[in-house]
Structure 1
């Protein structure tokens, strides 16, 4: 049995492992990642060595079992491993462990420097066995208000996906299993942290939260544990431990150390700062040096006075620095989070790397700066940073240093952009840009937030880079906001138009409304016109018209025909058709906007649009052109032709930049159309490949009830009922956590779950899941989906009197159970029109077979009509061949059914068909038993 790797898996290896889990070949993986097949082979060999897997099949199993490993976004940031010993605190540590066992929210409170973080880390490490799903640690010190969810998402390794808000992604992750979430330093984000924690506690019953703060979160059920200073018995131990770590030759002076710790009120951080100075002064010298500064505070033991005493120690330590050390120390205060050497050099204003690294080393030695060696970064503790900021203001250096930080931020963001992978950029092998982005993003945000929304080239460059990076990091909502901010700071109308267009693309694929996406396109066109970019105006308006008519568009289809016509006229007037991109955009819009019809493009105009798109060489435009001709083929019933076209669109995915929001609508639509076409032609292997790739896709996948739900129909059709029903429970729980939104596309997976239970003979759960179809269509409970629910419509595209998926489930269960009580009504419903549906022909074929079993008066007409409509549908053709054998006893029909079901790997249907062959009945019994499905009529 393979397990987690003993060696670290690189981000690229994780991507390869994920695609192995989706059963892609080396060539397909190479195309997906835009790397060579030889490079894929190298990564596979490394994964085999690191995981101990026997072969690539075992790797695929590992990928499915260890999905967090198989995705870059699956890595969880656990508690930091302490580099120093944990002194004392046995009673407090025991109290925290006990509280974590009894309460779901435990908050450690106390003044700055009293040791809340260290106690939380130690408690989290000790409690790991009680939280098998994981322990996630989130340092909120650098986090700005409004970004708590982003910080937690980063720690959990989850990202926003299409149609799923970031908070939902976090709740999905925390909703599965028993987690401990540590939120450190909540005091400056009390409202945001409390609101987020309340959502977690409500939606994720297995998650416990351990928070540290200077004050409680004030939530129901919160267990508050005040963290006191170290007692007299433990404080000297801490001093000696830290002093010996700094100087192994430190000479102890117990009376002096005891008095010193008492004067420092037992505050651990103050003791550690003093111990760092013990190298040069000794305990007695420290006591003498601090005596005058602490005398006025010595008689007080209130929390506020203890904090003042700590600040006094920090000030004393600062005063002992030389001028160069002081200058660097206070200028580092502009960083909200961790910083690297280049950042430190950038804010000094003077000195090179050698000088700064020397100064940093001295500040580390004096415990004023923390060095995280593994990450090659440094940071200031919150209370130390607060003091440094005061000194920065006192010296009048805040504005100058902040400006230097802003220049560093723009350069750092641009450098990160250069490291993004994509078709036009080589794959990065030296480190993962995501880790470095996560380390600096809080400071990049802070630098942008400090700039006013006026034209500013530097701020504009930073905002645009942040938009690009946030999108690539899959913070889709943040990306939209940064592109908006870029437009506000743009130095020209043309640049602002470009930013607003990118914002619209983010809105289109994210969770923003289609109305917002449309408004952003209109605003972009207006700024392009104001800047004299008439071609940009034309392309943008044409894109709006195209997306408002295309099936992939989330832009509302309710925009009036007159308005659409006016926009297209304006685009045609503005644009120069001699420019290939303009010509292609106009032809695409014109093909879809035909005679006021929203149900498909004009055939001849669609061909012309595709030809114009090919001239540009742009994979996004070519994909849109292919979608137009594919839609024409599908609407004309040429399903095989439509499927061939979508395969060509799949080939274009490797040429699109997944880090550019412009590609997102086409990527999303390609997957959606591919799945639809595969189901429409009854190609179960093709459907399986698509839905598994969706489930593993970083933009569309990792969504507990979106991408996961897409696998349920194909699993049920293949007879893999156990896996389908297990996924369905996860899907249902995810939908509940999301607040039960009305989502029509979920009707089909829920209906197929009902079918799975029905085939198993579990009538109760069949009816339960059948009713749940109504719930996802109408979460407020208005109306139930009865046997003849003529008023229920599936907004997910199934359409008609009732979802085709539930009609198919009803008919197929009736056939399997030989339940003919409502055969006539079921057959009538199965013969209804389901325009544009994925499962219409499944329902029609199952209905025709039921008509044969029930020997309905018009059975021959029903059977003939179903056969005519299923000419290009593999599943329906095989099902109807079996129905024809039931009607005529023709052996050729039975043989054709067996061949048809074998071709598409429909094991359940093949087993049922085998039962009808007298010579292979035993084989059919064995196959059904292996699938765990009772025999027909049993």
Structure 2
């Protein structure tokens, strides 16, 4: 980033953040670029809002250019690796490829291994980076062995994580949808089956993205333009030396072995023999200190050293193979063997890891150490500095060549088996660490655990891909797949976790083990909000359990599939046909026998299936049918509560916390349906407490997200804003929601908005908006209350344009389609604050008893209390009736009851009672309502109230209109 000149009071780090806000980057992108946490970015942005004096992120972005003047022109963000050596020559090729990339959306730099495709592509990307508003990004596909992981590799380079309900591929497409970016995909040839469909989707979805790929074969995708990278020039009449000779001289000089001008003809001969291949020339130059030009010439002249194995390769590979044959012929037999064995590593590895895989007879551990050093010195290994120490890496062409050597010698299976054993051991150790009871020490080691996993995961994937096809290693592959599934989940790679659990099921020899893996896969699918997958996998688990002869387990799976249709209804793109749940439930009953766990699962399924069949039509609660509709609703609610209580009792007897949590969820829903808000809140708190000590698994994570969200919601419903904030904070901090800032912050936004914590709302709203935009501005009605809460705060701050903007977001989320009651509640709060009780009463005109429970939900107490206050302030003739009815409804709710008391005092024209009511709001941790109550008083009380409102960052409001 260019050096910034910043306004006084803004720190250097804040200036960096401000400049990136001005580029309209999300908090996640800023955090990735500056190597800080998202929470730290939020803190800096909040500080900048105060210092700059603007209300929101948009205003901050508008002021960014004015406040941060760069001493140099701003450059787009460029994430390209820095070459360790200079780029030599290739001016014509560079210009030709640069022109192709500038004119075409997808260009493939084609050529054999070692020709220099990567270095040329990087040079061109660096040349063009400034012409792409969002810079250039490099993705190394060498460590990737699974074609399905292309999106994962791109996401890693872009600093993206997986979002529930969205695959990593979709996350990449969403992140790049509006970006003007150059994406360099390096080494695509071994993944063409994955690269081709990924590129087709990328180019179709992201119309401002250009892709420069390197490959040994065409990718065969639409829009592809191929540029064949030639070898380095061997003759150049217009220059002092050809590119191939210049490269040799440069690398030799870097080693401290300059070549005498009189020996240029000999250098030219070597380069011609190596066909101008950049990698071969670099390796030859690296031998100069030990062989000299005469020795190099003699080695290259020896056909046995040059062409061994060359005739078995196709024409594209012959020169590289010749170079590698020659290079290997110069090694000792021990170093040859070591290089072959370590070729199984797909990612950089340490000395200890090399010993674990390669250090067996005839190689001793110390021989491995010495051999690694010699191989690095001879450029057959590159060294990679890392936090945990030096790592080594073999180039892709060398790895492929050595693997062929192992195959020919018959040693490939043994080496791959040892690599598999190392992966399994590493995975098991990481599983133990990731499953440890949380502690301060464990938390401090979390970053180290993630780094170790990231360093090893590509090798685990490669070992699993090999072992899955080996009948003698199916058991090891099964256990590695299970470990990788668990580790992926802990690392928040939920999509891969599901895939690995399904892979483990396919590799299991025991049907019971396969069924268990399918259940874990179903839970992971639930965490991804993939209802269809969850349902499918439980059905598959049931079929597998029956194959194993375990009918009771099959009954549990069928019942769980049935309840999934109801519990996860929002997560189905197309739910199963009506009646499917009842059919599954009937089949489960025939298999359950007397098994307690099966009976508990069936009892839980009955809560959804039977309650669904007895629920009254919401339309029957008006007109002449209101009484009968109310009676039917009460009867159905009582039946639902009875079913849920039975499910809870059976689940508790099983001793399985997750089963009990699911049953408590059903009970809470039935209690709310029955109108007992306080019992519902208590049940949701029981659920959270039950899950507090449960180890983190896909199943427990899914339950905990649900429990915390409902605990926060129901706390709002009964006027417990402290509890709502506590549960909201715990929800926000769940690792599973790290990439879902919109969902994670949604409950906090509502609690803080109702409390009047305007600064916290404005800070969190930016994370909410960033996450929602990254997700592709998804249709998500469940998030409507959060967006409406932000609009509420802007209304109380006297910012109608910002309020209108957030209300449009409510509509875009799809919340307006349901016409939820919070819209009326929040509108009424703003209108009452502005001194417009008649309009507030109009917003709350519908009798709450005529509203569907799904519409009024947790807002009943707020609705009736504010309705009563609006009626009192508007001098409505039925105001006292409204107050009497509201007092009965909200009894026990500290905030709603205080609102009713305030309305009564205002209707009675008794302002002397207001300070006492304000104290009740203070006890309920509702600073906004406390300040507003005082502002409605007289003289000094009103002055103190208006000052308190201003202190909260809100307007002083309007005095009592009477």
Asked whether the two chains share a fold, i.e. TM above 0.5, the reply is: yes
Match of 2:899 in 1: 879
**TM-score, with length taken from structure 1:** 0.76
- 1:843 aligned to 2:863? yes
- Aligned with 1:745 (options 782, 787, 799): 782
Contact 2:935 2:942 in 1 (8 A): yes
Q: Distance in 1 between matches of 2:96 and 2:653?
A: 67
Deviates more, 1:590-599 or 1:611-620: 590-599
Q: Distance in 2 between matches of 1:424 and 1:765?
A: 42
Match of 2:376 in 1: 364
Contact 1:251 1:282 in 2 (8 A): no
Contact 1:816 1:936 in 2 (8 A): yes
Query: SS at the partner of 1:312?
Result: helix
Contact 2:356 2:422 in 1 (8 A): no
Match of 2:890 in 1: 870
1:700 CA drift (Å): 2.3
Contact 2:890 2:897 in 1 (8 A): yes
1:140 CA drift (Å): 0.8
Q: Distance in 1 between matches of 2:917 and 2:170?
A: 44
- Aligned with 1:917 (options 909, 925, 937): 937
**C-alpha RMSD over aligned residues:** 4.9
1:61 CA drift (Å): 4.4
Match of 1:474 in 2: 492
Match of 1:797 in 2: none
- Aligned with 1:420 (options 434, 444, 453): 434
Match of 1:42 in 2: none
Match of 1:861 in 2: 881
Q: Distance in 1 between matches of 2:955 and 2:46?
A: 28
Match of 1:576 in 2: 595
1:901 CA drift (Å): 3.5
Match of 2:695 in 1: 657
Q: Distance in 2 between matches of 1:327 and 1:352?
A: 12
The aligned runs of 1:226-245 (5 Å cut-off) are: 229=232, 232=241, 238-239=247-248, 242-243=251-252
Match of 1:149 in 2: 151
The aligned runs of 1:507-586 (5 Å cut-off) are: 507-512=525-530, 514-548=531-565, 550=567, 558-560=578-580, 562-563=582-583, 565-570=585-590, 572-573=592-593, 575-577=594-596, 585=601
- 1:674 aligned to 2:686? no
Q: Distance in 1 between matches of 2:899 and 2:383?
A: 68
Match of 1:15 in 2: none
Structure 1 unaligned segments of length 5 or more: list them. 6-17, 19-49, 67-75, 298-303, 779-784, 786-791, 794-801
Query: SS at the partner of 2:877?
Result: coil
Deviates more, 1:820-829 or 1:878-887: 820-829
1:119 CA drift (Å): 6.0
1:678 CA drift (Å): 1.9
Q: Distance in 2 between matches of 1:102 and 1:532?
A: 63
Deviates more, 1:910-919 or 1:262-271: 262-271
- Aligned with 2:398 (options 384, 405, 419): 384
Q: Distance in 2 between matches of 1:167 and 1:563?
A: 36
- Aligned with 2:465 (options 444, 449, 456): 449
Deviates more, 1:808-817 or 1:483-492: 808-817
The aligned runs of 1:94-105 (5 Å cut-off) are: none
Q: Distance in 2 between matches of 1:228 and 1:320?
A: 24
1:270 CA drift (Å): 1.8
1:531-552 C-alpha deviation (Å, 9 max, x unpaired) = 2334433443444455555589
Residue correspondences, number = 848
For residues 400 and 101 of structure 1, do their structure 2 counterparts lie closer, same or farther at Cα, with a shift above 3 Å needed? closer
- Aligned with 1:489 (options 497, 501, 507): 507
- Aligned with 1:809 (options 803, 821, 826): 826
Contact 2:187 2:215 in 1 (8 A): yes
Q: Distance in 2 between matches of 1:97 and 1:817?
A: 63
Query: SS at the partner of 2:139?
Result: strand
For residues 852 and 821 of structure 1, do their structure 2 counterparts lie closer, same or farther at Cα, with a shift above 3 Å needed? closer
Match of 2:846 in 1: 829
For residues 815 and 200 of structure 1, do their structure 2 counterparts lie closer, same or farther at Cα, with a shift above 3 Å needed? farther
Q: Distance in 2 between matches of 1:309 and 1:568?
A: 65
For residues 310 and 524 of structure 1, do their structure 2 counterparts lie closer, same or farther at Cα, with a shift above 3 Å needed? closer
Contact 1:2 1:62 in 2 (8 A): no
Deviates more, 1:857-866 or 1:921-930: 921-930
Deviates more, 1:601-610 or 1:483-492: 601-610
Contact 1:161 1:698 in 2 (8 A): no
Contact 1:154 1:438 in 2 (8 A): no
Q: Distance in 2 between matches of 1:860 and 1:635?
A: 28
1:354 CA drift (Å): 3.3
- Aligned with 1:438 (options 430, 454, 465): 454
1:147 CA drift (Å): 1.1
Q: Distance in 2 between matches of 1:708 and 1:206?
A: 31
1:666 CA drift (Å): 1.4
The aligned runs of 1:610-621 (5 Å cut-off) are: 610=648, 613-614=651-652, 617-621=655-659
For residues 166 and 894 of structure 1, do their structure 2 counterparts lie closer, same or farther at Cα, with a shift above 3 Å needed? farther
1:296 CA drift (Å): 12
Q: Distance in 1 between matches of 2:135 and 2:745?
A: 22
Contact 1:135 1:181 in 2 (8 A): yes
Q: Distance in 1 between matches of 2:131 and 2:762?
A: 28
Q: Distance in 2 between matches of 1:452 and 1:273?
A: 36
1:429-477 C-alpha deviation (Å, 9 max, x unpaired) = 5983433333333343334334359893233223222322222222222
1:95-129 C-alpha deviation (Å, 9 max, x unpaired) = 89999999997968353334454566688899999
Deviates more, 1:813-822 or 1:844-853: 813-822
For residues 632 and 934 of structure 1, do their structure 2 counterparts lie closer, same or farther at Cα, with a shift above 3 Å needed? same
For residues 604 and 328 of structure 1, do their structure 2 counterparts lie closer, same or farther at Cα, with a shift above 3 Å needed? same
For residues 89 and 724 of structure 1, do their structure 2 counterparts lie closer, same or farther at Cα, with a shift above 3 Å needed? farther
1:675 CA drift (Å): 1.7
For residues 712 and 133 of structure 1, do their structure 2 counterparts lie closer, same or farther at Cα, with a shift above 3 Å needed? farther
1:358 CA drift (Å): 3.5
Deviates more, 1:329-338 or 1:587-596: 587-596
Q: Distance in 2 between matches of 1:101 and 1:722?
A: 46
Q: Distance in 2 between matches of 1:922 and 1:424?
A: 50
For residues 875 and 519 of structure 1, do their structure 2 counterparts lie closer, same or farther at Cα, with a shift above 3 Å needed? same
- 1:269 aligned to 2:306? no
For residues 893 and 625 of structure 1, do their structure 2 counterparts lie closer, same or farther at Cα, with a shift above 3 Å needed? farther
Query: SS at the partner of 1:163?
Result: coil
- 1:326 aligned to 2:347? no
Which protein has the bigger helix share?
2
1:309 CA drift (Å): 3.6
Q: Distance in 2 between matches of 1:207 and 1:651?
A: 48
**TM-score, with length taken from structure 2:** 0.75
Query: SS at the partner of 2:114?
Result: coil
Q: Distance in 2 between matches of 1:77 and 1:528?
A: 52
- 1:109 aligned to 2:109? yes
For residues 170 and 707 of structure 1, do their structure 2 counterparts lie closer, same or farther at Cα, with a shift above 3 Å needed? farther
Match of 1:501 in 2: 519
Query: SS at the partner of 2:513?
Result: helix
Contact 1:713 1:749 in 2 (8 A): yes
Match of 2:72 in 1: none
Match of 1:646 in 2: 684
Deviates more, 1:477-486 or 1:384-393: 384-393
For residues 142 and 561 of structure 1, do their structure 2 counterparts lie closer, same or farther at Cα, with a shift above 3 Å needed? closer
Contact 1:99 1:223 in 2 (8 A): no
For residues 895 and 592 of structure 1, do their structure 2 counterparts lie closer, same or farther at Cα, with a shift above 3 Å needed? farther
1:804 CA drift (Å): 1.2
1:636-686 C-alpha deviation (Å, 9 max, x unpaired) = 44434443443343334442222x223232122212211211221232232
Q: Distance in 2 between matches of 1:159 and 1:937?
A: 46
Query: SS at the partner of 2:498?
Result: helix
